[in-house]
């Protein structure tokens, strides 16, 4: 198996990770994804797949901030990888022209084991197109906090924006970065706004349906403006630390374990990433609570996520489908989830949650407060994720206002909906 990193879409020399023996079957399938979507546990599973089948797997990891443009270019040129990774969800599938670029996987034996909401997010009509090998819908993004630090500094879980600001002040005074919110990758900070969507939507009855019907716009939405301005307030107050614009998501476990930060915005399965790097860390020290921007108390879930699609124009369709079937084998799933750094839970029927008792209890307490995130509920939002990230960064540095961001979202939605033939925009 090989792992290649592509910078600006140009391949660097591949590194051979494993050679087991000479096989009669000389097949290599390529898997292309954003760099944070390809993890070491799957590389290990791919080694085992090669050892069992003789089929090699070449992973091509592209920097997060370049991936979507590279993917679109590859799909448009008809030269995508045998398995290309992309976000599921209606808008993204539409943007990939998925019914033409990917193979319909509806007849595969493992499809019925995918949780219904996650399966729906990877479908167009009655046809199912991709394997979401990701903790989508089962490990919501949430604030993970250091329980010992909270207790040592006498702070309680903040349930409102004002309380969050007060907590930030306590940790700032103690020389600890209150919240690790990395802007450097270009994508992570957008979660704050996108996952606040269900809360800000409460101010306008049926807002998401109105947006999807082109009967409402983002621009001028007072609840959204307030939410973005609260993010700017946190930034200006130093709640994200001194290096927020260059901080990277990959450093999150290290920052947390070294107690450089008190709170990180990550999945409820963040503990598994910690154990992947620090296997002796006591994860009972990690607590969770909803992100209280706009005084939110919803736990926002996303049934969509990074998904593996088989390229319809590839030369190795059968081998690619064989790899996906292998990933879904029960013994392989068990092995994968036991590896350091693997997700603790996956959206497949019969798969245990894997969350520590304390974190699972906190999620269960919010069962009636779960809502679907804006990027899945609103069309033509998720495909412009990185653009929104750039606009939000511009707001932090004083170049944009909150309403500038909203106005640009509307413009990009219209530019996507028209060519897609969306009747709401005709």
The pLDDT tens digits for 138-154 are: 888 999 999 999 999 99
Q: Is 239 helix (H, G, I), strand (E, B) or coil?
A: coil
Q: Is 331's pLDDT higher than 80? A: yes
60 bridge partner residues: 4, 32
Nearest to 168 by CA among 186, 152, 153: 153
- What whole-number distance in Å separates Cα of residue 377 and Cα of residue 194? 10
The pLDDT tens digits for 59-75 are: 999 999 899 999 999 99
Spell out the domains of the chain, with CATH numbers in brackets.
2-137+303-338 (3.40.190.10), 141-301+360-425 (3.40.190.10)
In contact, 186 and 248? CB cutoff 8 Å: no
Nearest to 144 by CA among 36, 244, 283: 283
Q: Return the higher-pLDDT residue of 4 and 94.
A: 94
Q: Assign residue 238 a region: left if phi > 0, alpha if psi is -120 to 50, beta otherwise?
A: left
pLDDT on residue 1: 52
CA angle in degrees (0–180, nearest 5) for 177-179-273: 105
Q: Is 103's pLDDT higher than 50? A: yes
Q: What percent of the chain has pLDDT over 70?
A: 94
Q: Is 22's pLDDT higher than 80? A: no
pLDDT on residue 25: 59
Task: Name the average pLDDT for the chain.
Answer: 91
Rounded to an integer, the average pLDDT of 228-249 is 97
Nearest to 134 by CA among 122, 148, 147: 122
- What whole-number distance in Å separates Cα of residue 181 and Cα of residue 165? 15
Confidence band (pLDDT; 50, 70, 90) for 353?
Answer: confident
| pTM recorded for the entire structure | 0.77
Q: What percent of the chain has pLDDT over 90?
A: 79
């Amino acid at each position: 198996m090989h792992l290649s990193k592509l910078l600006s879409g140009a391949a660097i020399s591949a590194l051979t990770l494993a050679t087991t023996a000479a096989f009669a079957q000389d097949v290599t399938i390529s898997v292309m994804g954003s760099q944070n979507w390809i993890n070491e546990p799957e590389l290990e599973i791919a080694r085992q797949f090669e050892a069992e089948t003789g089929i090699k797997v070449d992973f091509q990891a592209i920097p997060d901030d370049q991936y979507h443009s590279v993917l679109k270019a590859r799909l448009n040129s008809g030269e995508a990888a045998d398995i290309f990774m992309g976000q599921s969800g209606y808008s993204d599938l539409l943007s990939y022209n998925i019914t033409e670029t990917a193979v319909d996987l509806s007849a595969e034996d493992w499809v019925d084991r995918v949780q219904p909401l996650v399966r729906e997010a990877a479908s167009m009509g009655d046809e199912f197109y991709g394997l979401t090998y990701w903790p989508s819908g089962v490990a919501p993004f949430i604030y993970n906090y250091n329980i010992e630090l909270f207790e040592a500094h006498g702070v309680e879980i903040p349930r409102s924006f004002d309380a969050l600001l007060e907590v930030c002040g306590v940790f700032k005074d103690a020389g600890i970065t209150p919240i690790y919110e990395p802007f450097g990758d270009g994508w992570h900070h957008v979660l704050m706004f996108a996952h606040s969507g269900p809360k800000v939507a409460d101010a306008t009855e049926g807002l998401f349906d109105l947006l999807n019907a082109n009967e409402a716009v983002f621009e001028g939405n007072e609840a959204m403006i307030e939410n973005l301005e609260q993010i700017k307030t946190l930034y200006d107050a130093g709640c994200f630390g001194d290096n927020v614009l260059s901080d990277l998501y990959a450093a999150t476990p290290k920052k947390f374990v070294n107690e450089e930060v008190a709170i990180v915005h990550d999945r409820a399965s963040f503990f598994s990433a910690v154990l992947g790097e620090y296997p002796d860390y006591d994860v009972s020290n990690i607590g969770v609570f909803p992100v209280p921007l706009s005084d939110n108390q919803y736990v926002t879930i996303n049934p969509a996520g990074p998904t593996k699609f088989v390229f319809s124009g590839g030369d190795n369709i059968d081998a690619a489908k064989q790899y996906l079937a292998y990933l879904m084998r029960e013994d392989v799933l068990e092995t994968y989830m036991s590896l350091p750094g693997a997700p603790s839970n996956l959206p497949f029927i019969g798969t245990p949650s894997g969350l520590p008792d304390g974190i699972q209890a906190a999620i269960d307490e919010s069962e009636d407060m779960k809502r679907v995130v804006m990027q899945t509920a609103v069309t033509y939002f998720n495909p412009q994720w990185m653009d929104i990230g750039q606009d939000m960064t511009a707001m932090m540095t004083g170049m944009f206002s909150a309403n500038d961001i909203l106005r640009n979202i509307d413009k990009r939605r219209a530019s996507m909906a028209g060519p897609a033939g969306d009747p709401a925009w005709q």
